[in-house]
Structure 1
Amino acid sequence: MTRFLAFACAILCVALSVPAGAQTVPESAPAEGGRLVIVGGGLSLDNADVYHAFIDNRLAGSPGIAIIAAASASPSGSGATFAGELMFYGVAAEDVAIVQLAMLDDPDTPDVDESEWTGGATDPDQIATIENAGAIWFTGGDQMRLRQLLIAEDGTDTPMLAAIRTRLEVGAVVGGSSAGAAVMSDPMIAGGDPFGGLFGEVLAAAPSQSGESGSLVLDRGLGFFSPGLVDQHFAQRGRFGRLARAIMAQPATSRMGLGIDEDTALLVDRGDRAAWVVGRGTVTVLDGRRATVSATGFADIRLSRLHGGDMLNLSTLAVTPASGREPVTARPSVFGGLWPSVRLADPLESETRQLFTSEQRRAATARFEVNLAEDKRGAIFVFAADARTRYWRSAEEEGWNGTLSGVRLSLTTGAPQPYRH
């Protein structure tokens, strides 16, 4: 394991230099409640803001960082890689520990037999690593592995998961990327194709059902993030429809979801119920608490889009734009600000699936319709702006990028509909 850490650190330190952080986020962890750093996957090593959001929020007096790479098919290798990244950002090697927890052995690491790590969730030595950590990180992979390893068969917390919750409550930071982000909520999105997941029943996951094929799959998550569901690789994989359908499968008061882009994080202060966007992409917020459901879809989810430095109130879902982003009042410009969110559907187009977009504008309202058609099934998303829609942008932001709130989102599924010009 020492060889893995040294190799990863050496490669990373030679490859890049650390850029100065550019985004303003809180500087110290709260005394109680802990913080979360939820990353949408695809984290670049030169994204200093996200790494510092995790490293700098360690619990005071507890510099240790515990890495849980059990979601990965290469647990020791993935753990060593992230350990090297932490050391690249100045974390001392003696403060980093890879937790021995895994479901299977990686044949590419012959000097480490990860199959011996399957009992790590009850191993006193591994639990002690968690108990001494000021920060805990979950790598990417398959979130169902984390669920199976950390939640006992009777549905109770394993001793390791109980220890993680205790550390979080006393002020530690818990972070994760990709699968490590998905598992933050409870329930969690365990799988489902972004288009296929719009149709059919919502499934309770079995281990063989996780992944990217077929129906939307929900299962129990770890529940560190309580306000709603989390989805990742959001814009890059066209998952906004999947997230919308997932939140609408919840009780009305719990219909909230966050879609986090790659190379982007949400820094959550659980005590203050506030969150800040960190990184290069966006966080899309879906609020379905007042939406309506029908046999063919849903209507009036409220959508917001946040960029780096923006703050989200997790109780009210009110958006506070970062300093430098000024309100845009001209309605044509506000309507233009919808386009980056409308374009979230673009990754769903394929050789077998057609996508058409139309736009209708009035003096005070605008309607953007995205029509997706494949074989004998289709989906229509409608993005609508009205008097409640708000848009902020800075002079440096290009195109229609900017912070947006109060967009109405609706979905209708069924037979493919003809394209209407």
Structure 2
Amino acid sequence: MFSLRLRTLFQAALLAALPLAQAAAPAAPAATNAATAPQGSLVIVGGGLKADNAEIWQRIVTLAGGPGARIAVLPSASANPERAGQWISERLNSYGAAAFVVPLSVRLADTDFRKVAEDAELASAVRSAGGVFFPGGDQSRITEALVRADGSRTAVLDAVWDVYRRGGVVAGDSAGAAIMSSTMFYAPNSVLATLRSGVADGRDIAPGLGFIGDDVFVDQHLLVRGRFARMIPAMLKKGYKVGLGIDENTAMVVDRRRQVEIIGVKGALLIDLTHATTDSARAGFNVSNAVLSYLDRGDRYDLATHTFTPAPEKAGGRLADGRELARQPVYSSDILGRNAVVELMENLVNNHENEAIGIATSGREMGEGVQPPAFQFTFRKTPDSVAYLKPETHNYSILNLRLDIRQLDAASEPVPVLSN
């Protein structure tokens, strides 16, 4: 079914982990069914999870059951699943887990991944674990390996869902984060190309595994790659009102009550399109009245009630009106650049100006003197805009900035250039 070497490694890891797992894994209820709301947690990592990020690794192990918890590692997304599976399992074990690698991938030689995905022994091993971890790579490989051609769940995927339903943790890094929503980016263009050309079902976006539910869109590598701008066209295409994009070496922990906690190094962007509109008469992609918030580490957001709670050390750090503010235009010539959107948001909340402008363009001619499309991002403070600050580290949480995006007319609207 799968190679002798991989079967041997899997069985050895399973036997080594079993005594610890029986004590540590969350207890399963007497009966579960697909209609039961999951009682488990999600740990959604934005990519680039470092080996020394103890806060995230330890949280995964704790949610899986604590010391000795068995965690199934599914390296299905990786181009080198054996190496990725070994690296992740070693990291988890260094933080107290008893992890084992599930040898299921379209990239494993001498295996039929379709048969492996239906293997009863493998499914049983996953089902008895306290957690599941999906490493990074290409998320399309995960769905190819775990979802049948008719869209139904394979035996192994059913087992993953059983872990989640009964109270275990499902964690994923990068590609493993992308699969968390019911729609995921599949083979997308660049962020700017997505603004120019939109998104197409089956090419740019495709069904994910939907652990977070059908109402929240998830993306990853967010701040370092300016991906908030590609989330909005995808959300509009599929009718999402709420989107969460998480940055690298950072995680969103989503509990059974759908409360989100940010842990790790940086933060996440919350996109709210509840009152957003588009103008079909205007050329190119456009959106008005989107709402953008930045959730920093330690912050919490309740997806059920749409309420925000700042990190405890920021609770008294709400920025007050009347404080001394800067007095110069707030502008970014590359709003899709590394961390540019958060830096602009921080500058805006500390400025007398109520509006900030960001520009996205490739800056290269498309031949025959034709300029590529450029997009203007206009951020505005509103009566609902709020910011919190932790002075010791200069970390901000920023809520409810309005965002409008429109394509500039190259013939009549030259790209604005302002001094930062």
Which bracket does the TM-score occupy, shorter chain normalised? 0.7 to 0.9
Identity %: 28
The one-letter amino acid paired with 1:259 is: G
Aligned: 1:267 with 2:272: no
- Structure 1, unmatched stretches of 5+, are 6-27, 106-112, 207-216, 350-355
The one-letter amino acid paired with 1:187 is: T
Contact 1:37/1:265, CA 8 A, preserved across alignment: yes
**Alignment match, 1:57:** 63
Change (3 A) 1:36 1:334: farther
**Alignment match, 1:202:** 199
Q: CA deviation at 1:260?
A: 0.5
Three-state SS of the structure 2 residue aligned to 1:115 is: coil
Aligned: 1:123 with 2:119: yes
**Alignment match, 1:69:** 75
Aligned: 1:327 with 2:318: yes
Q: CA deviation at 1:192?
A: 2.7
Aligned length: 366
In 2: Cα distance, 1:341 partner to 1:229 partner: 26
**Alignment match, 1:408:** 402
Three-state SS of the structure 2 residue aligned to 1:87 is: helix
- Between 1:173-182 and 1:143-152, the stretch displaced more is 143-152
Which of 248, 255, 273 is the equivalent residue of 2:236? 248
The one-letter amino acid paired with 2:386 is: R
Three-state SS of the structure 2 residue aligned to 1:86 is: helix
Q: CA deviation at 1:414?
A: 4.8
Aligned: 1:388 with 2:384: yes
Which of 89, 98, 102 is the equivalent residue of 2:95? 89
Aligned: 1:193 with 2:190: yes
In 2: Cα distance, 1:319 partner to 1:150 partner: 35
User: In the TM superposition, what whole-angstrom CA distance separates every residue of 1:271-307 from its partner, at most 9, and x where no partner exists?
Assistant: 2120100000111000101111123410111111111
Change (3 A) 1:188 1:339: farther
Runs ≥4 residues deviating over 4 A: 1-5, 28-32, 59-62, 331-336, 338-344, 359-365
In 1: Cα distance, 2:312 partner to 2:338 partner: 31
- Structure 2, unmatched stretches of 5+, are 11-25, 30-37, 363-370
Contact 2:335/2:359, CA 8 A, preserved across alignment: no
In 2: Cα distance, 1:132 partner to 1:61 partner: 16
Change (3 A) 1:29 1:42: farther
In 1: Cα distance, 2:193 partner to 2:330 partner: 24
Which of 165, 176, 189 is the equivalent residue of 1:169? 165
Contact 2:39/2:166, CA 8 A, preserved across alignment: yes
Q: TM-score, normalization: structure 2? A: 0.79
**Alignment match, 2:211:** 224
Aligned: 1:281 with 2:278: no
RMSD over aligned CA atoms reads 3.3
- 1:94-173 to 2 correspondences below 5 Å: 95-105=98-108, 113=109, 115-173=111-169
Q: CA deviation at 1:203?
A: 1.1
Return the index of the structure with the highest Cα Rg. Answer: 2
Q: CA deviation at 1:341?
A: 10
In 2: Cα distance, 1:249 partner to 1:4 partner: 44
In 2: Cα distance, 1:76 partner to 1:57 partner: 25
Q: TM-score, normalization: structure 1? A: 0.79
